[in-house]
Each structure stands twice: as structure tokens, then as C-alpha cells.
A and B are shown apart, each in its own frame.
Chain A
Amino acid sequence: KQEVTQIPAALSVPEGENLVLNCSFTDSAIYNLQWFRQDPGKGLTSLLLIQSSQREQTSGRLNASLDKSSGRSTLYIAASQPGDSATYLCAVRPGSGTYKYIFGTGTRLKVLA
């Protein structure tokens, strides 16, 4: 059974710091992995999608990597800003023919001005 874990659960950093959010999953057979951002009480905003054949994806100050064999993904945020404060969720789509995403519980990030 696929399980997704995100560590740390919460993180507080000063503005300008580079930071790494971690996501681990128990079954390496996945179709893809997607990172999302969620502001309090709001829906999910897609940040990056990594297909199982890819190692990383980049968008602006964000870089996501995928290591399927070790069951890990990281989201790197460069030069953090107060506007980056949100909960970041990682979701994997298992390769077992099911169509659902399995989510972690998220990392709640606070960037201090």
C-alpha cells in the first residue's frame, strides 16, 4: 500500500533563505509525482509535475527532484519570500492502474520578513 510522508510538518525560515522540503513514498512504482501549494482554506495550486521517467523539473525559483529508487522527492525553493508562506503538498500517482493521487499531509511553511 502506497504511503506518502512529508517532513518536516512545519518550517519557519527568514526571508531570503534557500530551503528544501522533503517527500518520501513507500512504493517506487509510480506514474508521476506532483507538488502543490495550498493557502489556508483554499484549493490546491499546481507547482510542478514530474513524470516517472524524469529526474527533475524547474519553474522559476522552484526545483523539484525525483529519485524513484529511493522513494524520495525534494522541492527546493530559492531565495524564499513571505509570499511563499503556505502549505506544500506532495502527491504520487501509483503505478498500479489506479487513477488517484495519494497525498502527504504537507509541510506548513512560514517565511518571516
Chain B
Amino acid sequence: ETGVTQSPTHLIKTRGQQVTLRCSSQSGHNTVSWYQQALGQGPQFIFQYYREEENGRGNFPPRFSGLQFPNYSSELNVNALELDDSALYLCASSLGPLNTEAFFGQGTRLTVV
């Protein structure tokens, strides 16, 4: 059991709505990364935050945005939800952006109807 906590665990939204997912990183970890995992696929990198700054971004449109707070917790915001946004969203924290072990939370299952 890692110290990475995500909320909520499940939610259902309607197409066109907006959603905010939250992640509390493991104690002492200053880096948070977000991934999207579609059913039967490996996780895909959305972006990473290091010391409150976006530190890298994957191939996701601008309606996917994020934030990291001074306590290193993080939010993922998705605007104008589409059916294809239905997925498991995973947050990972690490002590540093590059050469350290990543610890994942239990994920948030988002269903868009």
C-alpha cells in the first residue's frame, strides 16, 4: 500500500461537463505525474508537475490541465468531456522527476455518458 491517495475512486459525468480529479502524493515526494489508462491498454502519460511547475506533457489536448500545490498534492482538470475520456486515471508520485521510483495511487475510474 503506497502513500499516494486519489479521489474520488469512481465518478460518472455527462459529455460536455468538466471534472476535477485529486491526488495526494507520498510524504516527501515533490513530483506528481498523471496517466490515462484505457481498458486493456498500458497507461499513457498526460503530464508531470515538479515543484508546482509543469515539467513535461504528453500528447493530450489543452482541455486536460493540471495544478500542483505547495504541499505537492495535485489536481487534474478535464474540460468539455468526451466519451473517449472514459478511463482509469492514475497519479504517480516520486522523489524527483527522473531517476527515482514512481509510486502509483489506486486510480480514479471516470465514466463519461
Contacts and interface: CB of A to CB of B under 8 A. Distances in A.
A100 B45 contact: yes
Given A89-B42, A104-B42, A99 B97 contact: yes
A43 B93 CA distance: 13
Given A45-B104, A101-B33, A105-B42, 14 more contacts: A4-B42, A31-B99, A43-B90, A43-B104, A44-B43, A44-B90, A51-B99, A89-B43, A93-B99, A99-B55, A100-B45, A101-B35, A104-B42, A105-B41
Interface string A86-108: 00010101000011111111100
Contacts of B48: 99-100
The bracket for how many chain A residues form the interface is: 20 to 34
Contacts of B90: 43-44
Contacts of A100: 33, 45, 48, 56, 58
B56 A99 contact: yes
Interface in B60-113: 88, 90, 92, 97-99, 101-107, 109
Contacts of A60: none
A93 B2 CA distance: 21
Contacts of B58: 100
Interface stretch (A13-21, A34-42, A67-75): A34-42
Given A4-B42, A99-B98, A101-B45, A46 B103 contact: yes
B45 A102 contact: yes
A32 B97 CA distance: 12
A34 B101 contact: yes
Contacts of A49: 101
B107 A42 contact: yes
24 contacts: A31-B99, A32-B99, A41-B107, A43-B4, A43-B6, A43-B90, A43-B104, A43-B107, A44-B90, A44-B104, A46-B101, A46-B104, A49-B101, A89-B42, A93-B98, A98-B56, A99-B55, A99-B97, A100-B33, A100-B45, A101-B92, A101-B102, A103-B43, A105-B40
